[in-house]
Amino acid sequence: MSGMKPGRAVLTGLVGLIALLMATNAVLWLLVPARAAEVLAMPLLTGPALSSQMDIGAFFMAGALFVTLALVTRERTWFLAAALPVLGAAAYRTTAFALHGAPFLADKVGIEIAMGVILIIAARVLGRGRGAGV
């Protein structure tokens, strides 16, 4: 990061933190699913439902991979690929509240929106290639 402008360095650091957080959640789902579920404010399910619930780990694994690819390649597409499911999670949480009676988890939605916005800004500032008009 030598020679990098301070704002770009901070943005790169934030994107790296997002990759680290997503990778940590992916590993938690593999090794300590009860803790991973607790972090997301959900009970750990049992039986066939646990197998389906473990799919959440794949969400985090893919997100961590997309963000890492974005940092390595600087391709806008990877930043946006990482932002889409994170913002989708915020939308689905909000829908669960609005339509299905779930409590609104403002802290979780806020983090998801912040991460998505950081990734979209990074696509514009740090990214290269297609998607310049995003």
DSSP 19-81: HHHHHHHHHHHHH-HHHHHHHTT-PPP-HHHHHHHTHHHHHHHHHHHHHHHHHHH-BHHHHHH
Stretches where the chain sits below pLDDT 70 are: 1-3, 130-134
Percent of the chain with pLDDT over 70: 94
Q: Which residues of 120-133 are buried (b: 16+ CB within 10 A; e: fewer)?
A: bbbbeebbeeebee
pTM, entire model: 0.89
Q: Give phi and psi for 129, each to the nearest 5.
A: 95, -155
The pLDDT score that the predictor gives to residue 130 is 60
The pLDDT score that the predictor gives to residue 6 is 87
pLDDT tens for 18-35 read: 999 999 999 999 999 999
Neighbours of 45 (CB within 10 A): 14
